[in-house]
Chains A and B, each alone.
Chain A
Amino acid sequence: MALLQIAEPGQSEAPHQHKLAVGIDLGTTNSLVASVKSGEAVTIPDIDGQHLLPSVVRYMPCGNHLVGAEARTYAASDPDNTIISVKRLMGRGVSDLKTLGDEAPYQFDVNDGGMPYIKTAAGNKSPVQVSADILKTLVARAEEALGGELTGAVITVPAYFDDAQRQATKDAATLANIKVLRLLNEPTAAAVAYGLDQGKEGVIAVYDLGGGTFDISILRLNKGVFEVLSTGGDSALGGDDLDLALADWIAQQLDIDIDGNSVSRYLMEKSKQAKEVLSGADEATIDLEIKGRKQSITVTRAKFDELVSPLVKRTIRACRRALKDASVEAEDVLEVVMVGGSTRVPLVREEVKQFFAREPHIKIDPDCVVAVGASIQADVLAGNKPDSGMLLLDVIPLSLGIETMGGLTEKIIHRNTSIPVARAQEFTTYQDGQTAMAIHVVQGERELVSDCRSLARFVLRGIPPMAAGAAKIRVTYQVDADGLLGVHAKELTSGVESSIQVKPSYGLGDVEIAEMLKASYLNAAEDKDMRALREQQVDADRLIVSLQDALVADGKQLLSPDEYKLLESEIEKLIELRNGSDLVAIERGVAALSKASDEYASRRMDHSIQKALQGHSIDELGESE
């Protein structure tokens, strides 16, 4: 039978009306599910009392699969079929995988769409399917614990995830049969868990040191909206590295040969335990038994701090860079939130506190804080808090734009615009009689398309033939509350339309996004010059093409052979200038050619009027006025 939870005064749900909603932290190393029960957001443990679900799936030849701790035990013995850290593959194309190098040890199979499939004993699995299997396990756990079917879930993603990676996450949820109420940025979720969204407006730093990754996010709370000012970190630095530093030291002290895989794993496990002890005690004793030989060693907190200090310093350097990217000073930071199990290490807390010169938030279990924040948001979105004004908004991490003539990016939605949002812009045709227009959707901050990320392409066909510039094509970009993009193009005079939903094809890594942002600042001036040049080139092209067309149509008829030749050579001159990169010269060339063709243009005008008037009497014209 259903067990009751306590409601706020006057807000008891009618029976069978309470909507069960959860928050899911779909992590690289571990995943969690949380829900709000009797007004309290808590993570939900499995039957063994474990809250963390290792994000590991093992596929077996019989077609079945294992998820979690049991699957993880096969990571070493059956690496091809045991998928770990699948989050790193979400929304990535095959070409991206090559850059991951050793991090992607699986056998890949490439299909037509460029989506990588992992070859396993149970068949080819896409990263989306693997993530869906993890989600299914979490949902089954939640439905059992809450005693009913879930209305929906809020799933968290890193702040630097691009559209393709977000879409892949959403697809995984769909595949696992979960309704996604919202995708929420992980640092935002952590801030929500501490109720910072209800607090003072200002800059918030979220320091997330997980098992294998480090992320620092600088957010700004502004009118109920969390803007991501910058993100940074190190995708190959985490708690495991702290363990390794200690394990190396122990091996050195006791003269242990750590060549063997099992010995090093054993030492890592022991080091991890010692690290956890040292979070509460001043020293830890490690008892070892290797090949029948019993040994014991004591490590003090001071020694441990000394060993891991270089690693912690690295995270602080990343914090400094992130602040610089966000153009804020450490003293501007109002609140600091700690996320990830490794932030339990006292030295980490101490260094973070010193750097930001304020006490970081550590009250909520750093492993659970993201899931807890997501569940609070899920509870509101499911409609369980009717009088709550909390409507959390997120922003677009990188600008969304469209390619225009000359390979330039026209930004349609700027970065840090709060979502959901829809923006439209009108474009026109470039050539006479143009009946189709290619729409190229790009994401990034740079002026040239070649420096941005290509997200999608489609063609609007069936534009009625008109003079260049007469067609009106409205292109609408719509980003829903999950940060996913739909693009719609419509020719307004004829009503023909076409649209596309951005699907996962290729994604950007955190490092790449950071690089792209940095590049946009560094190259701002150069980009601007390049843009001016390209615009001038497009201008020149337009003039050249229209003149060439005109000459073919009636040049011989309206111009003397000398005039014709002169105009032709002037066009040649501009083509030459246009292919160069001298902005001013092209500008002068365009002016010169316009002037040279003025006389021809007015003759054409007279000619076409004469033609229109032929066969009509003056009276007729008067009547039609």
Chain B
Amino acid sequence: MAITMTDAAAEHVARYIEKRGHGAGIRLGVRTSGCSGMAYVLEFVDEVQDEDEVFDGPQDVRIVIDPKSLLYLDGTELDFVKEGLNEGFKFNNPNVSSECGCGESFNV
């Protein structure tokens, strides 16, 4: 079981955390909602919970995830991409069977 992130994603996460001034890493997760059943969660981490799994990404960025979300996200790679003027994070999740048109929610 593992979660990874690209260098580009790590670089941006590290910079955002530095700007924010504090943070123990980046939390990835899923929750139920949205038009295709599940939605991704991407948040700064202030406190790592006991049950959380922690993976080390590039540039000493820690990826934090709760065990339930890990079931849906195993093998996911977090990427940072530019699409025209738009830029942001993208989950490359091998478990996804269908996605809603906008990509904000998905099904496994």
Contact = CB atoms under 8 A, between A and B. Distances in A.
Contact of B41 (A12, A16, A40, A141): A12
Contacts of A145: 84-87
Contacts of A7: 41-44
Contacts of A10: 43
Contacts of A44: 85
Contacts of B33: 14-15
Interface in A1-58: 1-12, 14-16, 37-40, 44-47
Contacts of B31: 12
B43 A14 contact: no
Contacts of A6: 13, 16, 26, 42-44, 89
A141 B19 contact: no
B34 interface: yes
Contacts of B87: 3, 145
A6 B45 CA distance: 10
Nearest to B38: A15
Interface string B84-99: 1111111100000001
A16 B42 contact: no
B81 A15 contact: no
B42 A9 contact: no
Interface residues of A toward B: which range?
20 to 34
A146 B86 contact: yes
Contacts of A45: 85
Nearest to A7: B43
Given A16-B104, A39-B16, A40-B19, A5 B42 contact: yes
Contacts of A37: 88
B11 to A, nearest CB: 13
A8 B12 CA distance: 15
A37 B47 CA distance: 22
Contacts of B41: 7, 12
B19 A15 contact: no
B44 to A, nearest CB: 6
A6 B9 CA distance: 11
Given A6-B44, A10-B43, A141 B85 contact: yes
B102 A40 contact: no
A4 to B, nearest CB: 4
Given A8-B43, A46-B85, 18 more contacts: A2-B103, A3-B86, A4-B88, A6-B89, A7-B43, A7-B44, A9-B27, A9-B45, A9-B46, A10-B43, A12-B39, A15-B35, A37-B88, A39-B16, A39-B19, A39-B44, A45-B85, A145-B86
Interface of A: 1-12, 14-16, 37-40, 44-47, 141, 144-147
Which 6 residue pairs spanning A and B have beta carbons closest together?
A3-B88, A1-B103, A15-B34, A15-B104, A145-B85, A4-B89
Interface of B: 12-13, 16, 19-20, 26-27, 29, 31, 33-35, 39-47, 81, 83-91, 99-105
